[in-house]
């Protein structure tokens, strides 16, 4: 414990104080209602615990070399790059865990600290106390995504190894497992792939959304993170270009009628510009045309 306190640059009593009161530092930032009727809760962590958790990340998570099949919230990766792993494939299979972060329980986090990082039991319990809210990981907390990546550390490599032997591509973006193959899979092969991938989540008693398990052959629209991957590249979501064109037109017309008649034009501009830059990842020429029109309208207001 003294060694951990030294690494975190604080006294042992202060560490225990944080661990005993850690729940009081978590604040609900956003509640997102999903189409299936459930909700996702995003949290902020107040200082000074937030600084402590960032230090925990710097000491442990940032020095961990994650395997290339883990792509969620890691340096150099994004959901777009994750989707790129599965472009132009014969069959793509997507599997999603239910209520992921609250399902990664504090006992699982303790196990990561104790068995993966090799901390003793006392330190593992304290670190789990710091990193969890009401007995589980909280989405939005600095260490949560890193710890979620490590939640299946002792079973996932074995399953991934079996996929690779059979020529599959496997990746996990936090709570989304994507498996694909260069050729169109047979029905038994699809069943094996789904069953094998589900074992990752089921090994820790997480539930899988059966209705959100998707099997997509080349002859239908294949989607990863709601982006098409059929064409050998990741394509923008359907209708995004048309939606942005309409938004730019409305913004331009609003400015022409008088900026005073618009609600928060600067914020509207920033929001539309951000969405256009997102489109640019998929369709550079269309995005640049929209950006030129937006900038012209905004600078001439």
Please report, in tens digits, the pLDDT of each residue of the chain (301 residues total): 899 999 899 999 999 999 999 999 999 999 998 877 788 999 999 999 999 999 999 999 888 999 999 999 898 899 999 999 999 999 999 999 999 999 999 999 999 999 999 999 999 999 999 999 999 999 999 999 999 999 999 999 999 999 999 999 999 999 999 999 999 999 999 999 999 999 999 999 999 988 889 999 999 999 999 889 998 889 887 788 899 999 999 999 888 876 566 778 888 999 999 999 988 888 888 899 999 999 998 887 6
pTM of the model: 0.85
The whole-angstrom separation of Cα 228 and Cα 86 is: 10
90: closest CA among 225, 236, 222?
Answer: 222
Give me 135's structure tokens.
């007995």
CA torsion sign for 115, 119, 120, 126 is negative
pLDDT at position 236: 80
Contact 278, 291 (CB under 8 A): no
- Give the other-Cβ count within 10 Å of 227's Cβ: 22
- Tokens 């990340």 belong to 57
Q: Of 27, 89, 37, which is closest to residue 228 (Cα–Cα)?
A: 89
pLDDT in tens, 111-130: 999 999 999 999 999 999 99
Alpha-carbon gap, residue 286 to 280, rounded angstroms: 8
For residues 255 and 297, the answer to whether their CB atoms sit within 8 Å is: yes
Q: Which of 15, 13, 45 is nearest to 28 (CA)?
A: 45
Alpha helices in the chain, H assignment, sequence order: 2-7, 12-21, 49-59, 79-84, 100-103, 106-111, 121-131, 144-150, 156-165, 187-202, 240-256, 265-280, 284-299
The structure tokens listed for 110 are: 């303790």
The pLDDT assigned to 188 comes to 98
Helix (H, G, I), strand (E, B) or coil at 246: helix
Q: Identify the sign of the CA torsion 143, 145, 148, 153.
A: negative
Q: Determine the pLDDT at residue 260.
A: 63
Give the model confidence (pLDDT) of 59-110 as tens digits. Answer: 998 889 999 999 998 988 999 999 999 999 999 999 999 999 999 999 999 9
pLDDT at position 261 is: 63
């Amino acid at each position: 414990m003294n060694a951990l306190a030294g690494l975190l640059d604080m006294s042992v009593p202060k560490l225990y104080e944080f661990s005993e009161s850690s729940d009081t530092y978590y604040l609900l930032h956003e509640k997102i209602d999903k189409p299936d009727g459930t909700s996702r809760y995003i949290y902020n962590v107040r200082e000074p615990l937030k600084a402590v958790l960032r230090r925990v990340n710097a000491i442990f998570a940032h020095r961990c070399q994650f395997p290339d099949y883990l792509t969620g919230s890691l340096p150099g990766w994004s959901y777009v790059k994750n989707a790129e792993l599965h472009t132009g494939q014969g069959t793509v299979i997507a599997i999603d865990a239910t209520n992921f972060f609250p399902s990664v329980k504090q006992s699982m986090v303790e196990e990561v600290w104790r068995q993966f990082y090799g901390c003793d039991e006392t330190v593992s319990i304290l670190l789990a106390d710091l990193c969890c809210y009401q007995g589980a990981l909280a989405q939005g907390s600095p260490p949560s995504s890193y710890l979620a990546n490590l939640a299946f550390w002792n079973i996932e490599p074995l399953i991934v190894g079996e996929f690779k032997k059979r020529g599959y591509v496997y990746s996990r973006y936090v709570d989304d497992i994507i498996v694909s193959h260069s050729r169109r899979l047979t029905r038994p092969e699809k069943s094996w792939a789904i069953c094998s991938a589900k074992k990752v989540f089921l090994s820790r008693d997480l539930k899988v959304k059966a209705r959100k398990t998707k099997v997509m052959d080349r002859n239908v629209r294949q989607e990863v993170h709601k982006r098409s991957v059929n064409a050998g590249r990741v394509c923008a979501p359907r209708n995004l270009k048309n939606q942005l064109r309409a938004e730019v037109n409305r913004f331009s017309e609003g400015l022409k009628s008088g900026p005073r008649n618009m609600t928060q034009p600067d914020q509207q501009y920033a929001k539309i510009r951000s969405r256009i830059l997102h489109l640019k990842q998929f369709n550079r020429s269309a995005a640049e045309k929209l950006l030129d029109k937006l900038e012209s309208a905004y600078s001439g207001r």
